[in-house]
Amino acid sequence: MSEIHLHRIDLNLLVTFEALMEESTLTAAADRLAVTPSAVSHALGRLRTQLNDPLLVRVGGRMQPSPYALELIEEVRPVLRGLRRMLAPRHPFDPATSDRVFRVMMPSFPAVVTAFLARIGTEAPGVTLEWVNVSAGVYDAVADGLIDIAHVGGDLRMPEGLEHQDMEPFTWVSFARADHPAATDWGRAAWVRWLHLQVKIDTNTLSPVDARQDDPTTTRRIGAKIGEFSAVGAVLSETDFLTTLPTVLMASQMKLHNLCALRPAVSPDRFRVRFVWSSRLHRDPGNLWLRTALMEVYDMVQAEATAQVAAQIVELSEPTGDGK
């Protein structure tokens, strides 16, 4: 027998061959495949030509297989079973029974982490969540499948192969301990006088608070930099530092650390916030569940935080003296 060229074989011919081997008549095979008997006969003719073997011959009203057909069907069945299994609709992700591990690259905003872990504990008790610090290689980590979803701030160009969802931009507010001297006479002079605490994460994105230093009256003096958002409240409560951060980060720390909210002397430019994930995982049921749940929690926490801070914020006043 001459060599068979696979690119010339129509997969449907093998499906028809399997049906004929199991049903033994053209009519029964046609009913099974929901086609006409003539279509089955035509397919058998094409397969006979391509394989150079009669395969099935009518004997007494039924189709009898040739020796080669008996050998061939033993090879064809597992191949077709594998293809059906591979191409079958994917099983839906069931968070209640899943033991999957998800990796989220996002700053540790205390209220978001707490609310999301509470939801995970209820909906997906077997799921493990790894919260990873944001790094300059966030896009590569997501594209390479090392991270399931990441929270990204700023307008850095997103490379191909990633999907994204824009979120509500941050609302920036200044914070200090409730009995801070600046809180009683809050204005630009106090903003300039008192040292500021900055959270420095491992990215190349500048804080929008520092991106408008053309006006010297609004320039802040950075007295300390830390690498973890969750420590900000504790530091402010024990020092005279000020800080300016998103409400979604700080609202939960206000009551815990007895902080006050102050209208910033600088009005930061709009700061884009996105969640990003790999295009390869866009239709993955587990990733879809993860990002839907995370973004819902994030939206809820941010809206509540913004409303809470807005109700307590101290407005800017005209500076007097040195801002004490």
> 313 lies in a domain?
no
Position 105 pLDDT exceeds 80: yes
More confident residue, 129 or 90: 129
Residue 75, classed as helix, strand or coil, is: helix
Tell whether 140 and 76 lie within a shared domain. Answer: no
Q: Which two tokens stand for residue 203?
A: 């990215």
Indicate if 105 and 76 belong to the same structural domain: no
Name all contacts of 19-23 with Cβ < 8 Å and 24+ positions apart. Answer: 20/44, 20/56, 20/63, 21/56, 21/65, 21/69, 21/73
* Residue finishing a domain among 87, 113, 141: 87
| 28 and 77 co-located in one domain | yes
Do both 123 and 150 map to the same domain? Answer: yes
Over residues 19-46, mean pLDDT:
89
CA separation for the pair 44, 27 (Å, rounded): 13
Beta strand 222-226 with 259-262 is unpaired
Kindly tell me if the per-residue pLDDT of 80 is higher than 60. Answer: yes
Contact 267, 186 (CB under 8 A): no
**What tokens appear for 21 in the block?**
């081997």
- The predicted structure's pLDDT at residue 319: 46
Q: Are residues 222 and 197 in the same domain?
A: yes
Domain assignment present for 227? yes
Q: At what angle do helices 247-257 and 110-123 cross, to 10 degrees?
A: 100
Q: Is the pLDDT of residue 216 over 80?
A: no
Q: What is the model's pLDDT at position 112?
A: 93
Compute CA distances 120 → 94, 95, 142, whole Å.
12, 9, 21
Q: How far apart are CA 176 and CA 24, in angstroms?
A: 84
Q: Do residue 263 and residue 280 come from a single domain? A: no
Given a cut of 70, whether residue 85 has pLDDT beyond it is: no
Contact yes or no for 162/139 (Cβ under 8 A): yes
Q: Which of 87, 117, 138 is the last residue of a domain?
A: 87
Judge whether residue 321 has pLDDT over 70: no
Element (H, E) at 64: strand 62-65
Nearest alpha carbon to residue 244 among 191, 178, 202: 191
Which domain, by its residues, includes 138?
Answer: 101-168+272-305
Tokens of 255: 């009551």
Task: Decide if 310 is inside a domain.
Answer: no
The residue count of the chain comes to: 324
Q: Are residues 81 and 108 in the same domain?
A: no
Residue 1 has a pLDDT of 42
Q: What is the CATH number of the domain that holds 62?
A: 1.10.10.10
Specify the pLDDT at position 7.
55
Question: Is residue 1 assigned to a domain?
Answer: no
Q: What type of residue is 100? A: R
pLDDT at 62: 85
C-alpha to C-alpha distance for 137 and 258, rounded to whole angstroms: 36
Q: Identify whether 195 is part of a domain.
A: yes
**Same-domain check for residues 192 and 253:** yes
Count of helices and strands (H, E) across the chain: 10, 12
Please give the pLDDT value at position 228.
82
Same domain, 260 and 278: no
Task: Check whether 212 has a pLDDT greater than 80.
Answer: no
In this prediction, residues 188-214 reach a mean pLDDT of 77
> Are 145 and 260 within one domain?
no
Q: Give me the mean pLDDT over the 288-303 stretch.
A: 95
pLDDT of residue 278: 92
Residue 311 lies in a domain: no
pLDDT tens digits for range 117-170: 999 999 999 999 999 888 878 888 898 888 999 999 877 778 888 999 999 988
* CATH code (residue 281): 3.40.190.10
Number of structural domains, the chain? Answer: 3
Query: pTM above 0.85?
Result: no
User: Residue 314 domain-assigned?
Assistant: no
The pLDDT of residue 322 is 42
Domain check: are 229 and 296 in the same one? no
- As a whole number of angstroms, the distance between CA 242 and CA 204 comes to 23
Residues 144 and 179 in one domain: no
Indicate whether 53 pLDDT > 60: yes
CA–CA separation, 233 and 72 (whole Å):
72
Compute the mean pLDDT over every residue in the chain, rounded to the nearest whole number: 86
Cβ–Cβ under 8 Å, residues 226 and 143? no
Average pLDDT over residues 33-39: 89
Residue at 96 is within a domain: no
Percent of the chain with pLDDT over 70: 89
> Residue 320: which pLDDT band, with cuts at 50, 70 and 90?
very low
DSSP annotation of 133: -
What was the pLDDT predicted at 261? 95
Which of the given ranges, 9-23, 66-80, 246-260, has the highest pLDDT on average?
A: 246-260
> What are the tens digits of pLDDT across the range 270-279?
778 999 999 9
